[in-house]
Amino acid sequence: MPQTWTQLGSFMASVMFISAMFTRLFPPALQAHLKMYTKKFFSLVYPYIRITFHEFTGERLMKSEAYTSIKIYLSEHSSQRATKLKGEVVKVKDTSTPLILSMDDNEEIIEEFQGVKVWWGSYKITPRTNTFSWYPFSDEKRYYKLTFHKRYRTLITESYLKHLFEEAKAIEIKNRQLKLYTNNKTRWSHVVFEHPATFDTLAMKPKMKEDIINDLVRFKSGKDYYAKVGKAWKRGYLLYGPPGTGKSTMIAAMANFMNYDVYDLELTAVKDNSDLRKLLINTSSKAIIVIEDIDCSLDLTGQRKKKTEKVKGKEKSSTKRGDEDDDDDVGSKVTLSGLLNVVDGIWSACGGERIMIFTTNFVEKLDPALIRRGRMDKHIELTYCCYETFKVLAKNYLNVESHHLFSRIEKLLEETKMTPADVAENLMPKSLDEEVESNLHSLIQALEISKEDAEKKKAETERKESNVQESKASDKLGEGMEENGIIN
């Protein structure tokens, strides 16, 4: 053994000496030619072809679909052969195996396809420098490498890879779990989406609910139609109405019905329009992109100019006392035009089968350009609880479809305004032994109190208006008497 290590050390020292002499004695042009001919020589001797599939494409703006498909395929087929594995617990319906295993970094496996061996390797490159990079993505570069004999080139590139992508798609559908994403600058992070809302439990008028379901079904099956008319395969929904009318619950029901991931886009966390585009590009197809309370997210109207001037004034004054807190003053620079480009511009066509949803409590505050038809294709007003909505809630919370108190509740709902959230809170049993009738009486009492409060508020408003009118009339009379010289 000592003799072997001595010979190996002598060989390595000889190689390093020859390499140093080659670099020093031969000019760069000759070195390039020699390297080129060396590669050609080894290509004749080395009979294998290697294909690399990188995680990101287009200067790392978009995640490679090929890489994702390979990852899914190998996670299903590599767990029995790889010695280094990564484990991830997932919650998938109708499965008793919540643990998904996949190849770890820098691991290799051998697979056989129609009697031909192929080698798969999973690799990660971590740069030694620039640890704290400003770049929004991690500096780590991951990729898969496929190696096979060159005599099987046609079989692998035409048959094997096609088989791989088709099987990966089937595996993805089988193991699919919905995700809820949130953004931090230009990166998405996610948790499992487990909201139980469905259209069956959604408190809404049946006719309106049926109309929304039909619209979603048409969209999901409309890929060829959108291509025919020359439009990006996307659809916009504007949900508006008072707080507590079920806007967020409807989004969850839509996600469960369509089996789409949800991307909760927080505009205040986005630095500028460029970062907004990067976020959009990194959303998958079959996704619902949500901007809740868009009227409160950012100032996207003409008031932005005043806000910008105010920020500039702060910047000027800060030069006298120092430069601290500058970043907090500037905030997000996302503009209305940048948001419109994402919603309905060229960048909106980066990916297909996406739904964009805006929610607001005050639709009149939004810029008309933002919610016009074509951008927000369908406007859905969610209003206060009506009798039809109440019956859905009674079925959900109390499991009753009729009761002698329903007629009293129907009349009160016509006379007062109460949100579905407030109605549901009054219907929810406070204990397991509580009877249905006591819950309905609780709702009736809440409705009567709400009706009395509304009548008092109305009377107070009328009294104030009457006082204002009397005051105006008195002032007008006084002015008239003064003009006529009655009052000196």
Structure confidence by residue, pLDDT tens digits, 334-346: 888 888 888 887 8
User: How confident is the model at residue 304, as a pLDDT?
Assistant: 44
Please name the residue that has the structure tokens 């907090």: 328
Q: Which of 209-213, 324-328, 354-358 has the lowest mean pLDDT?
A: 324-328
Q: Which of 51-60, 258-267, 329-338, 373-382 has the lowest mean pLDDT?
A: 329-338
What are the sequence ranges of the domains in the chain? 18-128+136-177, 189-317+327-381, 387-475
Residues 6+ apart with CB under 8 A from 242: 361, 383, 384, 419
Higher pLDDT, 62 or 274: 274
Residue 60 clears pLDDT 60, i.e. is over it: no
If pLDDT is split at 50, 70 and 90, which confidence band does 255 have? very high
Which CA distances in Å does 131 have to 123, 134, 139, 398, 485? 19, 9, 8, 58, 87
Q: Is the dihedral of CA 322, 325, 329, 333 positive or negative?
A: positive
Q: What is the mean pLDDT of residues 182-194?
A: 88
If pLDDT is split at 50, 70 and 90, which confidence band does 311 have? very low
- Surface-to-core class of residue 9, CB atoms within 10 Å of its CB (0-12 exposed, 13-18 middle, 19+ buried): exposed
User: How confident is the model at residue 137, as a pLDDT?
Assistant: 46
Residue 67 clears pLDDT 70, i.e. is over it: yes
Please name the residue that has the structure tokens 């079989």: 155
Residue 308 clears pLDDT 50, i.e. is over it: no
User: How confident is the model at residue 128, as a pLDDT?
Assistant: 61
Q: Which of 146-155, 213-222, 370-379 has the lowest mean pLDDT?
A: 370-379
pTM: 0.71
Main-chain phi, psi angles of 356, to 5 degrees: -110, 125
The whole-angstrom separation of Cα 473 and Cα 467 is 10
User: How confident is the model at residue 92, as a pLDDT?
Assistant: 54
Fold of 189-317+327-381: Rossmann fold (3.40.50)
Higher pLDDT, 414 or 483: 414
User: How confident is the model at residue 321, as a pLDDT?
Assistant: 46
Main-chain phi, psi angles of 51, to 5 degrees: -120, 130
Q: What is the mean pLDDT of residues 301-330?
A: 47
If pLDDT is split at 50, 70 and 90, which confidence band does 303 have? very low
Higher pLDDT, 477 or 272: 272
Contact 179, 191 (CB under 8 A): yes
User: How confident is the model at residue 400, as a pLDDT?
Assistant: 92
Q: What is the mean pLDDT of residues 198-213?
A: 93
User: How confident is the model at residue 433, as a pLDDT?
Assistant: 66
User: How confident is the model at residue 259, as a pLDDT?
Assistant: 92
User: How confident is the model at residue 319, as a pLDDT?
Assistant: 45
User: How confident is the model at residue 164, as a pLDDT?
Assistant: 94
User: How confident is the model at residue 180, as a pLDDT?
Assistant: 95
Which CA distances in Å does 173 have to 62, 141, 192, 258, 354? 22, 27, 16, 13, 18
Residue 168 clears pLDDT 70, i.e. is over it: yes
Structure confidence by residue, pLDDT tens digits, 136-160: 445 678 899 999 998 999 999 999 9
The whole-angstrom separation of Cα 60 and Cα 133 is 15
Q: Whole-number mean pLDDT of the chain? A: 81
The whole-angstrom separation of Cα 357 and Cα 239 is 7
